Structure 1
C-alpha cells in the first residue's frame, strides 16, 4: 500500500463519516414516531430493550466516528499545535466550558429572548488531554438544560433569574465539572426517566416536514437525547455523568472525565 492508496482510503472513510452525519436526527425521528404509535399506554420504563439497543448503537457509533476522525485528523497537512489527531494534549476545561456556555446562551436567547447568567469557577491555565469536541458537546447539553429550566421558571416572575454555576475541579483521577442551577429541579420519580431516549422535558420538535427536521442543527432539544448521549460520551473515555436534583429548588449535574488514560474502549 503506497502513499496514494493511503490518501484514497483516508478520503473514502471521510466521505463515509460525512454520509452518516444525519443518523442521530433520523434515529431520533424514528424513536419519536415509535413513541407516538405506542401511545400513552406503554410506560417509558417498559421498553428496556429499546434503550439497551440504542445505548449499544450509539456507543458503537461514537467509537467508529472517533476512529475515523482520528485517522483523518492525523493526515491533515497542518495540524493545530498541541493536537494528536482529534486529541488535544492541553485542553483547558474552563476555556472549553466557556465556549460551550456562550453557544448555549446564544441558543437560549434565540428561543426565549433572554438568558440567565452563567458563572464559571476554576483555573483557566489548568489543562489535560481530552477530545475538546466531546467536552464541548457534553457541557453544552448540560448548560442548555439548566438555562432552559431557569428561564422557564423565572421568565414570568418579577424575580431576577439566579445565575448558573459551573465549577471545574482538578482531581488526581478525574476532572469533574459541576453544573448547578436553581431551575426548580426534577421530581425523584422522574430522575430515572431522564436517561431514557423516549423522554424529554422540552417540547418535541417533530413536525410534518420530515426533511426540514433532518436539516435542523443537531442541538437535539426536544428529542430526549441530550443527557443519554452525553453520558455515553463521558463513559467512552472512562468517565461518567450523574444528576442529583432537589425538587422545588434546582439540579446539580456532575460530569466526571477520566484523566488516567488507563480505560479500554467500552464497546458492546
Structure 2
C-alpha cells in the first residue's frame, strides 16, 4: 500500500512509480488477500505503467465546466467556425479530464490499483489519454472528421468501464475504507459522464452540420434537440414512456399474466426543462423499475399468506378470492414545477426498503448482496448506463407509442430511443449512448441503479433522495434545475487528494 505521504502529494509533484515497487517487493500482493490478484493482473499492471511526468501538465489544468444552457446557446446557431471551436474544446478537455482520473487511480493503494478489473480501466484510460493529447489543433472540417472517428472509437471501447469498475470495487471492498471506495467510484463515474457529454455533444453537432436538412447559421425551434440536449424536455412524456417500458419489463420478468401496478401521474403536467434525455430516462426508469418490482413482490407475499391462511382453515374462500384478485396499489408520480426547479416524487406501497439494505442504499462497494452483484456484473461485459440496455424481445414487441416529438425518417431502434428532430438526425453518438448495447435479462439486478441515478442527478446540480417507510412503501424525490444554467458538477484534483 502506498504511504500516506505519497497518497497526499500535490498534483504537480512527481509520484514514485507504484508498479516499479512490484519488483522490489514481490510479496506486496499476497495470495491471502481478499482481492483476486491473478498473475495476469499483476503482470499487466506492471507492464502498463507509464511515466507519471507525462500527466503532470494535464493534471495541472483545471477542467472547464459547462452548463446545459451553454451547450444550447453554442449549438443553436451552428457554423463551421463554431464547429471547429467545439472540436478544439473537446480535443483539449478530454485528455485533461482523463488525466485527473488517471492520477486518482495512481494514488490508490497498490493492491487495489493492480486488481485486474481496475487495471484494465487504467489501461483504457491511459490509451485514450495518450491518443487525445497527441491530436493536433483542428483547423478544417476534415480535421474534425478525423477527430470524430477517434472519439467514436473510444466511446465504443469504453463501454466496458462501468462493469469493470464495479467488479473491481466489489473485489477490493476489504482493502480500503468503504467511504473512500464509494467516493472514488462516484468521482470516476461523474467524470465519465462529463466526458461522454462533451464528446457525444460534439459528435451530434458534427452530424447535424453535415446533415442535408441543415442550413449553417439557421436557428433551431424550441422543440428541437441541440446536439444531445433536448430544449423542452416534458417530464410527463418521459414518465409515461418509461412507465410503459418498465411495465413490459415487469411482465417479462414475472410472467405475462403478472399484475403490474399502474403508474398515475399528477401535478404540473406541462412542466418542461432543458435536459439530456438519456440521463433523465435512466433515473426515472430505475426509480419506476424499483417501485414496480417492490409492489409486485409485496403482492405475491400477501397472496402467499392468504393461501396459507386458507389452507389452515383460518379464513374463508371469499376472503381468499378477494386477496388473490386484489389489484396492486398504483405508483403515484407527482410533478412539481417551481421557479428554478422541477421536483418529481415517485411513491409506492411496496413495503419499504429492508432494514439491512438501507445503510448501503447508495454504496457501490458494500451491502448484504455484494456477492450476488459481483456474479451478475460478470454477465454484463458492456454497459452505458441507459434504460435501453434492458431491451428484450418482449419490450421490442410491446405496444409503446413513440413520443410526440418531431421525428426524422430513420426508425428508432427502441421504445425509449431519443427522438431527434428533422434537423438533427440520428448521430453516431446518439446510437452509442441510447441503443440497446447489451441484451441482459430484465431480472438481472446489478445493485447499481440507485447510486448511478444519484450520480446522474447530481451531475447537473440536481439531487435524488429516498425516504423509506418500513412496512409501507418508499418515496423518491428527484430535483432538477429548471433553467439549465447550473454547471456540471466536477470533482477537482484538490478534493480527491484527501482520499
| TM superposition score normalised by structure 2 | 0.48
SS in structure 2 of the partner of residue 214 of structure 1? coil
Q: 1:249 aligns with which of 465, 469, 472?
A: 472
The 2-side partners of 1:205 and 1:99 are apart by 28
Inter-CA distance 132–222: structure 2 relative to 1 (3 Å threshold): same
User: Does the aligned pair in 2 maintain the 1:104–1:143 contact within 8 Å?
Assistant: yes
Higher Rg: 2
Say which of 90, 109, 114 aligns to 2:251: 109
Which shifted more, 128-137 or 112-121?
A: 112-121
The 5-angstrom pairing of residues 90-109 of structure 1 reads 90-109=232-251
Structure 2 distance, partners of 1:208, 1:258, is 34
Q: Where do 1:45-124 residues align within 5 Å?
A: 47-76=178-207, 77=211, 82-113=224-255, 114=258, 115-124=260-269
2:245 and 2:460 map into 1 onto residues whose CA distance is 24
Matching residue of 2:332? 165
5 Å matches for 1:219-238?
Answer: 222-238=445-461
1:183 corresponds in structure 2 to 350
Q: 1:22 is matched with which residue?
A: 160
User: Which sections of structure 2, spanning at least 5 residues, go unmatched?
Assistant: 1-138, 215-219, 304-323, 383-437, 492-499
Q: Which moved more, 1:105-114 or 1:243-252?
A: 105-114
In the alignment, the residues of structure 2 paired with residue 104 and residue 176 of structure 1 have an alpha-carbon distance, to the nearest angstrom, of: 21
**Unpaired runs of at least 5, structure 1:** none
> RMSD over aligned Cα, in angstroms?
2.8
Of the candidates 152, 155, 164, which is equivalent to residue 300 of structure 2? 155
Q: TM-score, normalization: structure 1?
A: 0.86
The corresponding residue for 1:7 is: 145
Within 5 Å, which residues of 2 pair with 1:117-136?
117-136=262-281
> Cα deviation per residue 1:152-185 (whole Å; 9 max; x = unaligned)?
1102412421111111111111111111000001
SS at match of 2:372: coil
Higher share in strand: 1
